[in-house]
Amino acid sequence: MINRNPDGDGAAERLERRWFAAFKAASNVRAECEELLDAMERSEQAWNRARARLSELEALRDALGEELALLDAADVTSVSGEPFRSAAERRVEGAFSCV
């Protein structure tokens, strides 16, 4: 027959409960880490897409800026011989003209 020490059994049960609690806590934190890793990966993908889009828009802006500089540098005239005016200039002029 095995004699059990009542104090030893209580200590063993407490140790076992602590082990299960630590195991559960570690499992929860592992799951949280996996969720955060997934979120980081999605954020990085979104960041890369935004960076690529920014690059495209900056290239477009630069190309349009060069085009505007060429128009400013050259005295561009239309087919009718009048100086080139932007659409904005034509709208402003049209708003103040009396018909």
77: helix, strand or coil: strand
Cα distance between residue 26 and residue 24, in whole Å: 5
The token pair at 68 is 């505007």
For 35-66, write each residue's pLDDT tens digit. 999 999 999 999 999 999 999 999 999 999 99
- Please give the span between the terminal C-alpha atoms of the chain, in angstroms, as a whole number: 117
Contact of 75 with 83, CB cutoff 8 Å: yes
The token pair at 19 is 């082990």
**Per-residue pLDDT, 29:** 98
Q: Where are the domains of the chain?
A: 17-74
Amino acid of residue 8: G
Mean pLDDT value across the chain: 83
